[in-house]
Amino acid sequence: MAFPLPRGITPPEISFLAEMEQVTIVPRQRLEGLELLGGPVEPLMPPRRASLPLWLALLLKRQRRANILPPPWLHPESLSLILEIETQHDEYQHAFSPPPPLPGQPGLRDRHKKPVAMPRYTPDGERYFAAPPFVPQNMAQDHVTAGEPPALPFHWLEVGTMLLDAASDDLVDPDQTRRLLKELREVRTSKIRTGVDVLDAAATGGGGVALTGVGAMEVGEGRGFIAGVVDGLRKIGASKEQARREQMAEDMANGGYDATQDDDDMEF
Amino acid sequence: MSYYDIDSILTDAQKLPCTFELEVPGLGILEGNPGENIKAGTRIDLPLWLGEMLSIGARLGTSRLVTLDLPSALSERVMNALKADPRTVDLRALAPHFYSLSERVLELFEEEEMVDVLSNTFKKRAAEIADHAHNPKGALGDGVEFLRGLDETERQLFRVAHDSAKETRIWAGEAKKR
């Protein structure tokens, strides 16, 4: 092979990306504000809470200058609730537990509501719609929305593992949390494995497979295998796909394709 | 598939049964008796690249030199076995590049049903491969028999899945590096 590294990004790279997530800390020392590339960090004034990128929070934690407040989902209760959804709920037997809603997206309870996209504004006044990783999914919340089930954010495995490594004394019952994270990971990995059955939808033209709720590390782990399977199925089905396209072109030429006629066909 | 892809070169070298429609002077060397003519109706196994070239007259409308047959790896018997249980068939014994061969053959023959059977086989076996790939012992566990029967495409799939699972385990600190 010409290039020794496999396609896609490696687990250390994924966890590097996860360090961009914002977390909440309680500082123990005063610290002046920092001007970072990702945006300014407010001055730290104990005991006022502050939100920092994870890498900075871990650094301060290692230097014993701050305590990290664990995100609401990284709690034995929330994790066992999510685990229950993943394993017991009929609806999620073959799917992953839903990701946290985006800002403006209705929660799970009232999913019939229409999503209202809420634009945010940059300092220059330009409009944008926030999406992960720029949505705070790992910050401690003061008020938990009533009835809203906990959900795993995109970088759940990385953030969870890193916090367990560096700040296990700040978590509620770290051993239980570690065990639940491991169980969740096993349940979801086996779902990815059984998901091979639906992959032929991705191999045919115009098809696709939803990966809603799959975390970054899981995508990274499954990338090589899933891409290989889809590619193999595509190659085997190539002749059939070719025949289908020819059939479609023939139908189009015969005028049987009236629903989506091009503008060129309309002119005489 | 690139020009230098060793797997596609090896696929090209796999044999395909061909029947000669015309008598060809001086081509007896293919049959093992050099200097002789090759008679019409002779059946010889030719490599895929040669058989494909010789049969191409059929597409141009002129009388063709040879007619192609399905290789034994893709015979009716094998298809029935794959329909019954894809997991127990030793694809490697049939053809080391089973899927690449069938891909090329499907371009030459119109076999709608074979496409379905092969896709299904590939899917079923891929799920099994994923199970074995996540086994930390690698190819030394229980599934040695199954893993020995993988064709080249499936071996690559197994390697990719196994490596990524291992990388993740190393990152999580569950496994030692190397």
Residues B31 and B81 in one domain: no
pLDDT beyond 50 at A267: no
Q: Which ranges of chain A would DSSP assign to H, the alpha helix?
A: 11-18, 54-62, 76-87, 156-166, 174-194, 200-203, 216-236, 238-253, 263-266
Residues B99 and B167 in one domain: yes
Q: Most B CBs within 10 Å: which of A3, A192, A197, A239, as the mutation test of the B interface?
A: A239
Residues B94 and B16 in one domain: no
Q: Mean pLDDT across the stretch B63-73?
A: 80
The pLDDT of residue A265: 45
Residues B112 and B169 in one domain: yes
The pLDDT of residue A236: 86
C-alpha distance from residue B175 to each of A161, B15, B172, B178 (Å): 15, 44, 8, 9
Residues B76 and B59 in one domain: no
The pLDDT of residue A220: 87
**What confidence tier does B62 reach under pLDDT thresholds 50, 70, 90?**
low
From the list B124, B123, B88, B117, the residue with the least C-alpha distance to B102 is B117
Domains with residue ranges and CATH for chain A: 11-100+137-234 (1.20.58.2050), 101-131 (no CATH)
Dihedral over alpha carbons A14, A20, A24, A30 (to 10 degrees): 130
Q: Mean pLDDT across the stretch B68-86?
A: 87
Neighboring chain A residues of B118 at a CB cutoff of 8 Å: 236
Q: Mean pLDDT across the stretch B117-130?
A: 87
Token code pair at residue A168: 């296990």
Chain A contact present for B134, CB below 8 A: yes
Residues B160 and B110 in one domain: yes
Report the range out of A234-238, B51-55, B57-61 with the highest average pLDDT: A234-238
pLDDT tens figures, A196-231 = 777 777 776 667 777 788 888 888 888 888 888 888
**What confidence tier does B73 reach under pLDDT thresholds 50, 70, 90?**
confident
Residues B25 and B89 in one domain: no
Neighboring chain B residues of A197 at a CB cutoff of 8 Å: 123, 127
The DSSP line for A169-228 is: GGSSSHHHHHHHHHHHHHHHHHHHHHGGGGTHHHHSTT-----TT--HHHHHHHHHHHHH
Rounded mean pLDDT of chain B?
Answer: 82
ipTM of the complex: 0.83
Report the range out of A87-101, A134-148, B15-29, B116-130 with the highest average pLDDT: B116-130
Chain A contact present for B161, CB below 8 A: yes
Query: Across-strand partners of A34?
Result: A41
Residues B83 and B137 in one domain: yes
Tell me how many domains chain B contains: 2
Neighboring chain A residues of B163 at a CB cutoff of 8 Å: 6, 224
Neighboring chain A residues of B126 at a CB cutoff of 8 Å: 196, 199, 225, 229, 232
The pLDDT of residue A104: 66
C-alpha distance from residue B79 to each of B75, B89, B133 (Å): 6, 10, 26
pLDDT beyond 80 at B59: no
pLDDT beyond 70 at B139: no
**What confidence tier does A268 reach under pLDDT thresholds 50, 70, 90?**
very low
Taking an 8 Å cut-off on Cβ atoms, the answer to whether B168 and A11 are in contact is yes
* CB contact set of A214 (below 8 Å; sequence gap of 6+): A96, A188, A192, A222
The DSSP line for B134-163 is: TSTTGGGSTTHHHHHT--HHHHHHHHHHHH
Of B47, B69, B91, which residue constitutes the final position of a domain?
B69
Q: Mean pLDDT across the stretch B93-98?
A: 88
Please check whether residue A72 is in contact with residue A78, taking contact to mean a CB–CB distance below 8 angstroms.
yes
Q: What is the DSSP letter of A257?
A: -
Taking an 8 Å cut-off on Cβ atoms, the answer to whether A236 and B119 are in contact is yes
Neighboring chain A residues of B156 at a CB cutoff of 8 Å: 228
Domain coverage including residue B19: 1-69
Rounded mean pLDDT of chain A?
Answer: 79
**What confidence tier does A58 reach under pLDDT thresholds 50, 70, 90?**
very high
The pLDDT of residue A111: 56
The pLDDT of residue A121: 78
pTM of structure: 0.79
Residues B106 and B153 in one domain: yes
C-alpha distance from residue A261 to each of A233, A252, B30 (Å): 31, 9, 55
The pLDDT of residue A59: 92
Residues B141 and B164 in one domain: yes
Distance (Å, rounded) from C-alpha B68 to C-alpha B56?
10
Q: Most B CBs within 10 Å: which of A5, A193, A218, as the mutation test of the B interface?
A: A193
Q: What is the DSSP letter of B28?
A: G
**Contacts for A138-145 with beta carbons within 8 Å, 24 or more apart?**
A138/A21, A138/A22, A138/A23, A138/A54, A138/A71, A139/A22, A139/A23, A139/A24, A139/A51, A139/A71, A140/A23, A140/A24, A140/A49, A140/A69, A140/A70, A140/A71, A140/A72, A141/A72, A144/A72, A145/A107
The pLDDT of residue B14: 86
Q: Mean pLDDT across the stretch A177-202?
A: 83
Phi, psi of A25 (to 5 degrees): -130, 160
Taking an 8 Å cut-off on Cβ atoms, the answer to whether B127 and A194 are in contact is yes
CATH of the domain at B143: 1.20.58.2050
Distance (Å, rounded) from C-alpha A135 to C-alpha A43?
21
pLDDT beyond 70 at A133: no
Chain A contact present for B153, CB below 8 A: yes
Residues B169 and B101 in one domain: yes
* Low-confidence winner among A238-247, B53-62, B80-89, B128-137 (lowest mean pLDDT): B53-62
Q: Most A CBs within 10 Å: which of B8, B79, B122, as the mutation test of the A interface?
A: B122
How many CA atoms, within 13 angstroms, populate the side-chain half-sphere of residue B2?
A: 5
pLDDT tens figures, A153-175 = 888 889 998 998 888 888 888 89
Please check whether residue A144 is in contact with residue A72, taking contact to mean a CB–CB distance below 8 angstroms.
yes
Distance (Å, rounded) from C-alpha B40 to C-alpha A32?
92
Token code pair at residue A131: 């999406």
Residues B166 and B141 in one domain: yes
* Low-confidence winner among A29-33, A102-106, A194-198 (lowest mean pLDDT): A102-106
